[in-house]
Structure 1
Amino acid sequence: MFVPLRRVLPVIIVTILLIYDDRVSIPSCDVVPAVDHEGGLVDEQNHPEDLKVMLVANLLLLGSEAGWANICFRDYHLSKFFRKSFEILRPDMLLVLGDVSARGADLSRSKWSSVVQQFHELMGPFLSLPFHVTLGDRDIGDCSGLNAESVSWIASNFPGLDSAGTGAFEISNISFVSLNAVALACSNNALRFSVEKIVERESIELQMDVEHTKEMINESSKVGLPSVDVGWRENAITSGSGPVVLLHFPLHQIASNNCLGGNAYEGTSTCLHENAKTSKHRRLVETGPYELSHTLPPNATEYIFQALRPRIVFSAHTHRFYDHTHSDGTREITVPAMSWDARNDPGFVVASFKRNGRAVTVSHCTLARESQVVITYVSFLVLFTSTMILVNKPLLTCKGR
């Protein structure tokens, strides 16, 4: 009576493990409460015309240098994270905010190519969507080793980046400007001047759009025509009327003592200098060119505010999630690391850009802890082994007789 049940136990255990393996890759997302630049509450309801963007950072891929633990465990689950997130969230675009590679600044071109190949393999269904990658300090190095030729070659592997590692694009009438934050952090480097030229160009185009808009409104009022619907560019001179700015390093003011700001997401936001307390959970990230508390200099931060008037800023590097409102009302979201090589509990961000205004709804998504997954797998392995021994024990006893 009990023998058939004992023999079917291994099948039951394996089935439960497969179900767990599928469900452990499902992200858990919470909308972060916020207000828009006008001080009103952001409409958190999703609409079909909203632009939904998934933002990830700090993948820390190793390419051909990856060991079996990364290939068979971390990369396997990272690929499932991407696939499940795509199936559940159905984003319109993917943005990667730097540090695609764990040691990219020290890699040869052939090894860098293996990192790019690994990146494309992990993305899976996201390859069918528009995607954009910014460059991080682990990708191109620090100021002392920043090389224009190397940056140009690395940037050529990702869509939309120029030779300086910057880019500007528009999707669904939402403008994005991607800046090489590492170059901006260097006080005297040719790449920094190239990045500043892009900022100036975008600033001039923004001002031209404003002047053109004013002329159209004036002409409409003169002839008695209805006002032109100019959308979110109507007040482009004001703070928050410019493009969405993408960076790897956070802006300087996020490191202030009041880092939680008025719109901090309680339970996930803490000051940047507290990252040192969690360094014991990190492995590869401990050897990076910059400390995790590194931010853009104050002058570069103010330059971005004045020239671009960002609608919102997305940054990365710290491996943790932050929601901060700067003194001029600009909201900055720092995207956490989506890698178990960076932290025990990885995550990412989903942003929905409202088509009927400048508001942006942000959701912070978390993924399974590596420690919990490892413990669960080990427990299943022990249980399965014990069950197999129990199932085969009567046979061994009979043979002994």
Structure 2
Amino acid sequence: MAIIQRRWRHALFLNLVFRFVVGLLFIYVYCEYIIYYVTQIQCEWPELNKEYTEKVDTVYAMVIADTHLLGSRNGHWVDKWRREWQMHRAFQTAMTLHRPDVVFVLGDLFDEGKWCPENEFNDYVDRFYRLFKVPEGTQMYSVVGNHDIGFHYRITPHLARRFEAKLSSPPVSLITIKNNHFVLINSMAMEGDGCSLCSRAVAKLNSISDMLRCSSGSSLCRSKTRLEKYSRPIIMQHYPLYRESDSICTEPDAAPLPERNALFEERWNCLSKESTEYLVESLLPRAAFGGHTHHSCVVRHSFVPTADHKIEFVEYTVPSFSWRNRLDPKYYLLTITPEEVKVSKCGLPRERTLQATVVLLAAALLVYLKLYHNRAKKYTYQKHLFGKKV
């Protein structure tokens, strides 16, 4: 009898261990992989208001901002590994579910790019492309942020050149995708002080502006280059355009109070008023996207340079994609044609949701194992000690 009891207890223990290990494996897979699909599958490409006849001109774009990959100075290596893994899983899940034509990364790719030496910067770039790998057929464009090369006052030619070379990100560039035009801008080059970086940016902007005017049919231009099909461009940069503060932002994920009412400092929290007016009047944008604040904001701009001319467009400030900056990181999905820009905001799992899910699943596993143990013990006891049929 004692031998029989020892055998069934040993078998029960092994069975419990097996189920415990399988349960832990399920919790890990769910919280590290499946939960990103459960969250993001709810986000879909925004629908256009009207059917656009030329389907070839429809662009599906994903926009992220402020990934802030850690370097060797800030944060513990565990935090660094954890946050990078989260962003990697979230981004790769988005690539699998949405398959965008293009991804725009709006600056502050790196947290310590303005400080790090050459070998560390090269490691930064390699990590970025490894973590944010895009599938074949998807293009990726990055604009520079102040954490990548520094605010204007501390940018050196070396810092500017190495980001430009490694990330293929000049101070200003015009990207055309399926007859939709995007102007990518280095926000720190909009200082307006005549520095070499600013001079390059302004010269390129003036050239792009002239090309756009010529392509729109205006006679007030000199460019011999024409776009195949004109549409008002979309601005992509790191800073928001000029605004006094975030107090006008009414999104649920806008900056919290009282931070929302803090006044912005031009050239630090946003572009200067003069640079904003210059960009708007030069490019006549139909939409603008920026990051930098780590919070969400939607601003409907209306500029009136002259009494008979009004420039209206919507500006979107994209929340940070990193859990270090937000408890609820976000990204945007854009459906774009030469006539429309439609936007969907997609949320990632909240940090507290991830933690609560682990606790609840672990508690459920323990309850299950307890119930299974009691049932198996009762069954075995009745069968082997009393010979009863159960």
> TM bucket by the smaller chain?
0.7 to 0.9
The residue type paired with residue 29 of structure 1 is C
- Structure 1 SS opposite 2:133: helix
Match of residue 333, structure 2, among 350, 368, 373: 350
Q: CA deviation at 1:203?
A: 0.7
Matched, 1:300 2:307: no
C-alpha distance in structure 2 between counterparts of 1:275 and 1:365, whole Å: 25
Query: Tell me, what secondary structure is at the counterpart of 1:326?
Result: strand
Shift in Å, 1:14: 2.8
Q: Alpha carbons of 1:197 and 1:366: their partners in 2 closer, same or farther (altered >3 Å)?
A: same
Per the TM alignment, residue 157 of structure 1 is displaced from its structure 2 partner at its CA by 0.6
Whether the 8 Å contact between 1:95 and 1:132 is mirrored in structure 2 is yes
Residue 196 of structure 1 aligns with which residue? 202
Q: Structure 2 CA distance, aligned partners of 1:291 and 1:387?
A: 58
With over 3 angstroms needed to count, the CA separation of the structure-2 counterparts of 1:378 and 1:132, relative to structure 1, is same
- Measured against aligned partners, the alpha-carbon deviations of 1:248-267 in whole angstroms (never above 9, x if no partner) come to 0000137475445xxxxx53
1:371 match: 352
Q: Is the 8 A contact 1:143 1:186 kept in 2?
A: no
Other structure's SS at 1:101 match: coil
Q: Which residue identity does 2:273 align to in structure 1?
A: P
1:19 to 11, 18, 30: 30
- Give 1:246's aligned residue: 236
SS state of the match for residue 314, structure 1? strand
> Gaps spanning 5+ residues in structure 2: where?
1-7, 221-226, 303-310, 377-390
Q: Displacement, 1:59?
A: 0.4
In the aligned structure 1, how far is the partner of 2:368 from the partner of 2:137?
44
Paired with 1:251 and 1:232, the residues of 2 have a C-alpha distance of 27
Contact kept, 8 Å, 2:106 with 2:145, in 1: the verdict is yes
After superposition, the Cα gap between the structure-2 partners of 1:77 and 1:256, relative to the gap in structure 1 and judged at 3 Å, is closer
Residue by residue over 1:17-63, the C-alpha shift from the partner in whole angstroms, topping out at 9 and shown as x without a partner, is 42343222132437789xxxxxxx83499996421011111000124
**Per the alignment, do residues 7 and 213 of structure 1 end up closer, same or farther by CA in structure 2, a change over 3 Å counting?**
farther
2:290/2:317 contact within 8 Å kept: yes
The share of aligned pairs that are identical, in percent, is: 23
One-letter code of the match for 1:194? R
Q: Deviations over 1:190-235 (max 9, x none)?
A: 3222211111000111122133799xxxxxxxxxxxxxxx9972xx
Query: In 2, are the aligned partners of 1:313 and 1:331 still within 8 Å (CA)?
Result: yes
Checking the alignment, whether the CA contact within 8 Å between 2:114 and 2:149 is kept in structure 1 is: yes
CA RMSD of aligned residues (A): 3.8
For 1:267, the equivalent position in structure 2 comes to: 252
Residue equivalent to 1:335: 318
Q: Pick one of 132, 142, 146 that aligns with 2:155.
A: 146
CA distance in 2, matches of 1:153, 1:213: 39
TM-score using structure 1 length: 0.74
Report the CA distance shift for 1:276/1:292 in structure 2 as closer, same or farther (over 3 A).
Answer: farther
**Correspondence 1:1-400 to 2 at 5 A:** 3=12, 6-10=16-20, 11-26=22-37, 27=40, 28-29=42-43, 42-43=49-50, 49=56, 50-63=58-71, 67-126=76-135, 129-159=138-168, 161-162=169-170, 165-185=171-191, 187=193, 189-211=195-217, 233=230, 241-253=231-243, 255=245, 258-260=248-250, 266-268=251-253, 270=254, 274=257, 276=259, 294-327=269-302, 328-354=311-337, 357-377=338-358
Shift of 1:124: 2.7
User: Residues 23 and 256 from structure 1, CA distance in 2 versus in 1: closer, same or farther, beyond 3 angstroms?
Assistant: closer
Q: Which amino acid aligns with 2:237?
A: L
1:329 to 1:111, Cα distance in 2 relative to 1, 3 A: same
C-alpha displacement at 1:7, in angstroms?
4.6
Q: Is the 8 A contact 1:253 1:326 kept in 2?
A: no
* Alpha-carbon distance between aligned partners in 1 of 2:133 and 2:45, rounded to the nearest angstrom: 26
Q: Distance in 1 between matches of 2:53 and 2:131?
A: 28
- 1:61-90 C-alpha deviation (Å, 9 max, x unpaired): 124567432354221121111111011111
SS of the counterpart of 1:350?
strand
What do the CA deviations read for 1:130-189 (whole angstroms, capped 9, x no partner)? 110000011111122121232011111112x23xx3222211121111111012146453
With over 3 angstroms needed to count, the CA separation of the structure-2 counterparts of 1:47 and 1:53, relative to structure 1, is farther
> What SS does the aligned partner of 1:100 have?
coil
- Decide whether the 8 Å contact of 2:179 with 2:228 is kept in 1: no
- Normalised by the length of structure 2, the TM-score is 0.76
Range that drifts further, 142-151 or 291-300: 291-300
Please tell me whether the aligned partners of residues 27 and 358 of structure 2 are also in contact (alpha carbons under 8 angstroms).
Answer: no
Report the secondary structure of 2:240's partner residue.
coil
Specify whether residues 47 and 254 from structure 1 end up closer, same or farther in structure 2 by C-alpha distance, changes over 3 A only.
farther
The aligned amino acid for 1:14 is L
Q: CA deviation at 1:114?
A: 1.0
The code of the aligned residue for 1:53 comes to A
Judged with a 3 Å threshold, the aligned counterparts in structure 2 of structure 1 residues 353 and 231 are, in CA distance, closer, same or farther, namely farther
Aligned residues: 344
